[in-house]
A and B are shown apart, each in its own frame.
Chain A
Amino acid sequence: MNALIAAMPAIIVVLSFGIAVLFMAGTRYAVYLLVDHRGGTQAVASDDFVLPTLPMRMLWPLGRTLVLLSVLTIGAGIVLWRFIYGIGSVTNLSNAFPWGIWIGFDVMSGVALAAGAFVIAATAHILRMERFEPLVRPAILTGLLGYLLVVAGLLVDLGRPYNVWRPLVHWQIHSPLWEVGCCVATYTTVLFIEFLPVILERVNHFKPVTSRLPTVSLYKLLRRVGIVFVVLGVVLSTLHQSSLGSLWVLVPTKLHPLWYTIYLPVFFWISAVAVGLAMTIVESTLSSKAFKRGLELPLLAALGKAAAVVLCIYLAAKAADLVARGAWPLLFQPSLEAAAYWTEIGLGVIVPAILFMLPGVRQRPWLLFTAAMMVVVFGIVMNRLNVSLTGLLAYTGLIYTPAWTEIAVSVALVTLGVIAFGLIAKYLPVFPDENEHHA
């Protein structure tokens, strides 16, 4: 048991990696599986980018289906178990360590990874850089699914999920969690409204519907007032992305000084913008593979450039804070925390920022993708896990490692999101019609 506990940091990194690999492999193969890829052109993009080939590739389609189905079934079984025998029966949580990866990964990382929706929508519609238009719908879909999964994960983690609506009624203005709850609920609705035109475009194909329901006028209305929801989305995202950091401002005696600062909300917000850009690169690259579409490389390169700027601001702000608080010497003391901090900042901020700055990197899809993946895995997932798990270990003692059942539920949630993305992108006009451009 002690050996297991000592392996904590390794487990966290492996977990992050595992989920990243699953995300890559999952998107690639789930979508490949789900989307009708017979017929149509097999010619892929004009680049030489090949995703890491996994043994899964060798499996026959039935095998892939079985893998996906068993991941989902196991996850569903564990959730069922939790609702019969309690949260303690499927987690390693205790009164001394009440939040695990269902909060640290599913909620804290999940919300950040869904930030692409507000970042890209703001770029295209508020800054009005219209060339980014092709990226908006996929980003909003990713965001909407991300938030729905966050809510789903939260409902499993809450002890009394049927009371989840109460923050909306009993205002607790001093509670960051109240604010997160209200904003996530509102913003998920806003994302749905932002995505609604995509659904309506498909619905409006059907005369029986359009002649009976005002879907056409609704569509036109949404198009006209869409900008209001974009602005609302930016404000709501700013509020709750940052408030996820404020959650930890309440525990000055528990969180390690490398992470504890009153500026946590600011850092959470800046890094959410950075990962919003990075996730869009990741998601676009994977979709272009899965759907055999062209890659909007110039757009993604521009996002990479922007990400470099944001990452540099993030790095400078974090460094300034460490110096101002006098906590920087802790960086050079050998400790679990220092190692975790260096990994997070080195592999998740510094290296990708440098990569994004190099024109040679921005012209190569696979390097661009790698840099973006580093921001996602180390810069965000590891940072959020550091704040919510690693940074508490010095206070609590090494008393928590995620149970396999906790990991399995998180993995099932990600898988669910990937499959949903594939299905929705198949049946709804999420991606721009390439013929339109080439015609």
Chain B
Amino acid sequence: MKPTRIADGSNGSLTRRDFLKRVGAGVAAAMAAHAVAGAVHTAHASEGVTEDTPAVLIDLTRCIGCNSCALACKAENNLPNPESAPTGLSNEAFTFVSTIQLETPEGETLTRHAKRQCMHCLNPACVSACPAAAMYRSPEGPIVYRAERCLGCRYCQIACPFDVPAFDWGNPLTPVISKCWLCRDRLNAGEQPACVAACPTGALRFGTRRQLLAQAHALIASNPDRYVDHVFGEHEVGGTSMLYVSDIPFAELGFPADLPHSAPPEETAKVMEALPAVILGMGALAAGTATYTHRRSAAHDTPHARHGAAEPPPADASTSEREEL
């Protein structure tokens, strides 16, 4: 019986080598698992988020579709084409005002406008997705982006339940992800976001999430005939910092319907938290099996193998090589 090519012409110091193998694999697995387990615990992007996070309440019944907010946003963030009102989210617009025409049962046509932008989720899928923390929760609360870390992988786009992040498809080497950052620098300077400051009708209100949720429910309670009893963003995907009230059901206004009340990152967390166990389990299984089979084959093969491997290992490795193909 010839020793096989790669099989480590063993038989000699089996015990010690197996021991080292086992220890090596075990230590590696344990270290990795420990690191993973520790990090998973502190990894939730929603960790430390309070109801006092900065938020905006958007009252769609008050919006007149003047686009002041969208143009103020472009000016504030030095976006291209500052004079033209955007019609969608893109690398040229962090926000836009959608216009929806509706038929009433009486045959009248109703027009509604809805400012759309990043929802600043409490447990954001984009942050959970990003492999390099280019998308992250700022200490102040807004979900913000730093280009210098971004790979341009676009997983944040896949992940976002509101399809918010926009990519720069025409930029060959330095494309960035564009999305609303709730004017974090203005917030730090004690100002309101540019869109809120520009709104002439009071359709946009800035405050803490706690205040605005209370206000939203108060609005609905005092005008039950006017508003639908739904604060969009209170529970959607685990809650968002941008909150909406409306007199028309949100699904009819183009908002995603039937969003789960749990945040998508909670689903991935179930999987990712299993990693330490998978690493340890697989590592132990593979290393254990290898140790067992090596020992068994050594015991089983010893007479033959000793015979087969009787020739001492070649002094010059080249002689152990196989010849030309």
Residues of chain A at the chain B interface (Cβ within 8 Å):
82-89, 93-96, 98-99, 122, 124-128, 130, 133, 136-137, 157-161, 163-164, 166-167, 170-179, 181, 197, 200-202, 204-205, 210, 216, 219-220, 223-228, 230-232, 234-235, 238-239, 242, 246-247, 249-254, 262, 265, 291, 426, 429, 431-433, 435-436
Contact = CB atoms under 8 A, between A and B. Distances in A.
Contacts of B282: 234-235, 238
A400 to B, nearest CB: 13
Contacts of B173: 83, 160
B322 A219 contact: no
A204 B321 CA distance: 9
Contacts of A436: 2, 322
A252 B39 CA distance: 24
Which 9 residue pairs are nearest across A and B when measured between Cβ atoms? Answer: A159-B152, A88-B169, A128-B293, A178-B131, A173-B39, A166-B132, A433-B322, A160-B152, A98-B154
B286 A174 contact: no
Interface stretch (B51-59, B137-145, B157-165): B157-165
A223 B6 contact: yes
Contacts of B166: 95
B169 A93 contact: yes
Interface of B: 2, 4-9, 17, 21, 24-25, 28-29, 36, 39-40, 43-45, 89-90, 125, 128-134, 147, 149-155, 157-159, 161, 163, 165-175, 256, 258-260, 264-265, 267-272, 275, 278-279, 282-283, 286-287, 289-290, 293-294, 296-297, 313, 316-318, 321-323, 325
Contact of A175 (B131, B165, B323): B131
Which of B44, B278, B316 has most chain A Cβ within 10 Å? B278
B267 A250 contact: yes
Contact of A429 (B21, B171, B321): B321
Given A167-B132, A204-B317, A174 B272 contact: yes
B157 A246 contact: no
Which of A88, A93, A177, A242 has most chain B Cβ within 10 Å? A177
- Summarize A's interface: helix, strand, loop or mixed: helix
B290 A175 contact: no
Contact of B125 (A82, A136, A250): A250
Given A122-B286, A239-B279, A175 B129 contact: yes
B43 A99 contact: no
B278 A238 contact: yes
B8 A86 contact: no
A166 B153 CA distance: 12
B269 A174 contact: yes
Contact of A250 (B29, B89, B128): B128
Given A163-B151, A174-B272, A86 B286 contact: no
A265 B151 CA distance: 24
A96 B321 contact: no
Contacts of A133: 4-7
A253 B272 CA distance: 19
Contacts of A202: 321
Nearest to A238: B282
A253 B318 CA distance: 59
Contacts of B151: 158-161, 163-164, 166-167
A231 B153 CA distance: 30
Contacts of B17: 224
A378 B147 CA distance: 39
Given A163-B149, A250-B125, A126 B322 contact: no
A251 B264 contact: yes
Contact of B169 (A86, A173, A429): A86
A21 to B, nearest CB: 28
Contact of A216 (B29, B163, B316, B322): B316
Contact of B6 (A197, A228, A250): A197
